Amino acid sequence: MNAPLATPRHLESYVCGRWVRGSGPGIPLLDASTGAVVALIDASGLDHAAMLDHAREKGGAALRRMTFHERALMLKAVGQALMEGKEEFYALSTATGATRSDSWIDIEGGIATLLSYASKGRRELPNARLVVEGEPEALSRDGTFSGQHVLTSLEGAAIHINAFNFPCWGMLEKIAPTLLAGLPAIVKPASQTAYLTELMVRRIVETGILPDGALQLVCGSVGNLLDLVTPQDVVTFTGSAATGRRLRAHPAVIENSVRFTMEADSLNASILGPDAGPGSEEFDLFVREAAREMTAKAGQKCTAIRRLIAPRAAIDAVAKALGERLAKTVVGNPAEEATRMGPLASLGQRDEVRGCIERLRAEAEIVSGDPADPRLASGDAEAGAFLSPVLLHCAKPLSASAVHEIEAFGPVATLMPYDTIEEAAELARRGKGSLVASVFTNDGGVAREMVGALGPWHGRILIGNRLSAKSSTGHGSPLPMLVHGGPGRAGGGEELGGMRAVKHYMQRSAIQGAPWLLTEATGRWMKGAKTRDEAEHPFRKSLAELEIGDRLVTGSRTVTLADIEHFAEFTGDTFYAHMDEEAARANPFFPGRVAHGYLIVSFAAGLFVDPAPGPVLANYGVDNLRFLTPVSPGDTLQVTLVCKAIDPRATADYGEVRWDCTVTNQDAAVVAQYDVLTLVAKTRRAAAV
């Protein structure tokens, strides 16, 4: 059964903390399979200026008061609540034409993206409101003037204009980095499937987890919203290239240099390697992936494969194997269990796709499927936007243009032959910039050549082979930790990619000044800034007692030849530079036998630790370790340890302390430089000592 909706509901927009119905009669939104009215949509009469003010002044201000970890925990709580109520979304998703597995991508894929940002935010961002990016740059010889990049939250609002094909994922993948960055969001889903986004936003609002103004929703036209954008706002768009181009050129967007991210049509290619002939595992994977990409979401995925590029000798075998697979696809109402592919989102969308197929036929012939399949256009199915998968073959793709330009946003792909690997890459490039390309090969040389040739034109490249066959996430799946977006025709935007997406909603500034002032401003110690030496060892201090700049200058220790030999025997590291005087001298880096780097690090720890139980709970690693000056027998080591950053964990009774660790020799030359990472109890009581 499709979701029973006796009387179609008027969708509402969520505006300034209230659910509001548009003032017009509403445009009916139809079930993609049955044609029944699911809901009415209209957003006329909304006060867009008030929405933006509410977002900026209420939502943004509240979000900016929170730390990254607090925002991340907020996302986690929202994600968990949505996951608990997911079945309700599945039930309604059927009306969009999505099968259970299509809906899984949209609903659980979207929630998983939210949860992934919640987790990465706590692991990769500090429990603070400002991101210190990269290392400081020394800008003067005497160490009195330095530079540092920082990121702060924008003070505007993000307007997300989304596509119809992923009403849940499309919203969640964008609001996750937005909210984590401290920016409120106004979401405008595509009308066709907005009822599902509306339901999800209702459930999010009901949790009461997000601060007022952090999330608003427009169901219907955005009216004059874009006229009102300011330099602190961000606009993202997913949809057709034509609309995207129009919005990107909106006068207020240009006038205010508003960040505009566009993700549009993409003629994604999948290439069968020259090594992967019929009978090989890669050949089978290529065919399976092509069938999956053509039929998942009825091909209405921005990342779906539109062009299949195969060695000329394998073309007939691909056409046969893929045609047989596609012919077995059961097309129908996704509410029925046997259905493997649902309808397109609307009858209008089907007309659009059929039109595209007609235009493609000027350069390619249909080898499988029938765009006017009579079984899909009669009886009960009449009102549904059903279309059988259609595979075309273009014999001369290098002299063709439509097959590289027309995106039939449905279960349609064109197969094309190549003779050389350069030709395969050239055909992929004819898409003029795509979200993703895949290459199916078990040959390292082919992989290398393809990555080099396809990289400049693609946001993502998937290499498929027998080893990753089971674990691969596939050609069409954008992942929260990897970049999604592509150059040129694909819109030129970049989304996801882990913390890259968060930074997109923040302002990067280079700050310059005296190191101690930069340390005060950023909360991160840098060389040249003030230090504080106290009688008490800093390892005796809890997180609450430690201060940035707390310093320990240790006693010294002389390294002997016996130490080096003992370490070599004990660890088994008898590398010649430590054990063979003559060979070590012949090495351009060493004056003779030298101490092991790890011996230096070990002696340094021996010099700086405070052995008794205390607030320091664990050493969990070092960052950026470099050995800068060789240590010869007879050299004397000393360590300077400075508290560089203190990052309390939001949900634990400990936090991370980063120590700047400099090991010097008797001539004050730096022997080793690194950051030591420790976990320290927030209070002495929490340390239980």
Give the span between the Cα atoms of 517 and 520, in whole angstroms.
Answer: 5
Q: How far is the CB of 296 from ligand NDP (least distance, A)?
A: 14
Nearer to ligand NDP by Cβ, of 42 and 635: the residue is 42
**Is 50 exposed, middle or buried (CB count within 10 Å of its CB: 0-12, 13-18, 19+)?**
exposed
Give the span between the Cα atoms of 255 and 622, in whole angstroms.
Answer: 47
Residues 333-392 that bind ligand NDP (CB under 6 A): 352
Q: How far is the CB of 357 from ligand NDP (least distance, A)?
A: 13
Cα dist. 58→72, 290, 520 in Å?
A: 19, 47, 28
Nearer to ligand NDP by Cβ, of 280 and 346: the residue is 346
- 232 lines the binding site for ligand NDP (CB under 6 A): no
Residues 525-564 that bind ligand NDP (CB under 6 A): none
- 485 lines the binding site for ligand NDP (CB under 6 A): no
Give the span between the Cα atoms of 490 and 493, in whole angstroms.
Answer: 8
Q: What share of the chain is helix, strand, coil (3-state, %, to 5)?
A: 35, 25, 40
Write the binding mask 155 to 184 for ligand NDP: x where contact by CB under 6 A, - elsewhere.
------xxxxx-------------------
What DSSP element (H or E) covers 65? helix 61-65
Phi and psi at residue 497, in whole multiples of 5°? Answer: 70, 35
- Residue showing the smallest CB distance to ligand NDP in the complex: 239
Which residues lie closer than 8 Å to 323 by C-beta, 6 or more apart? Answer: 367, 368, 391
Nearer to ligand NDP by Cβ, of 161 and 501: the residue is 161
Give the span between the Cα atoms of 506 and 131, in whole angstroms.
Answer: 9
Out of 15, 51, 190, 272, name the contact with ligand NDP by CB under 6 A: 190
Stretch that binds ligand NDP, among 61-69, 185-193, 396-404, 595-603 (CB under 6 A): 185-193
90 near 30, Cβ under 8 Å?
no
Nearer to ligand NDP by Cβ, of 68 and 166: the residue is 166
Tokens of 161: 């204009």
Is 536 among the catalytic positions?
no
Out of 93, 103, 191, 346, name the contact with ligand NDP by CB under 6 A: 191
User: Of residues 173, 263, 293, 407, which has the active-site annotation?
Assistant: 263
- 27 lines the binding site for ligand NDP (CB under 6 A): no
Out of 102, 106, 289, 407, name the contact with ligand NDP by CB under 6 A: 407
Which residues lie closer than 8 Å to 532 by C-beta, 6 or more apart? Answer: 547, 549, 550, 551
Write the binding mask 285 to 324 for ligand NDP: x where contact by CB under 6 A, - elsewhere.
-----------------x----------------------
Write the binding mask 243 to 262 for ligand NDP: x where contact by CB under 6 A, - elsewhere.
x---x---------------
The residue among 680, 683, 600, 677 whose CA lies nearest residue 644 is 677
- 263 lines the binding site for ligand NDP (CB under 6 A): yes
Pairing mode of beta strands 307-311, 269-272: parallel
Is 219 among the catalytic positions?
no
Q: How many residues bind ligand NDP (CB under 6 A)?
A: 24
User: Of residues 302, 394, 643, 661, which has the active-site annotation?
Assistant: 302
- 188 lines the binding site for ligand NDP (CB under 6 A): yes
Stretch that binds ligand NDP, among 119-127, 240-248, 359-367, 649-657 (CB under 6 A): 240-248
Give me the residue label for tokens 């707390």: 550
Tokens of 160: 């997300």
Phi and psi at residue 415, in whole multiples of 5°? Answer: -95, 135
603 near 643, Cβ under 8 Å?
no
Q: Where do the H-state alpha helices sit in 473-556? A: 499-504, 515-522
Binding site for ligand NDP (CB under 6 A): 161-165, 188, 190-192, 221-222, 238-240, 243, 247, 263-266, 302, 352, 407, 409
Active site residues: 263, 302
